[in-house]
Structure 1
Amino acid sequence: MHRTDDMDEMLELKKLVIEHLASRIDKKELAAEYKLTDEQLDSLTRKMLDSWLNNPDFILIIADVLGLSLPRKTKEKKAHYIG
């Protein structure tokens, strides 16, 4: 498999992870608990997701926890990205 295929596959998985995480974040609850403005909360959420999702190993961990899998050759890819 070519490097661009690997990158495309990780991008697909990254998008799936973002969709699932975004649907599970209760912004109102977070804002109330930490006394954040909407702007502060948006900034925090962006920074948090950016730091998590710029790490391929972390993307795989999040995907595994969420029950998501790589679109193709899951075991082969995990070995490639993690090991």
Structure 2
Amino acid sequence: MKAIREARGISLRQLAKDIGRDPGFLSRVEDEQQGASDGTLHLYAGYLAVPIAAITHKEMDRDQERPGSPHRDDSDPPAD
């Protein structure tokens, strides 16, 4: 995740601000110290314009990819 973001020249603070997440939280996610909901991963991937598999190294179930799906968990903390 971090390598893709940095290759695009996007700072962690800018990404966090633009997707509405806390920079410390995203830093822990990038360092694999904390997990993130599908919602946050989709925001992250969408912002970087990459498929979700590029940042998770796994394929998501089609239901999980749809906004509003009952299988999605959008409970990550918002930015302060």
Identify, as 1 or 2, the structure richer in helix.
1
Q: Which has the higher contact order (CA 8 A, sep 6+)?
A: 1
Q: TM-score when scaled to structure 1?
A: 0.36
Larger radius of gyration: 1
Report the TM-score when normalising by structure 2.
Answer: 0.37
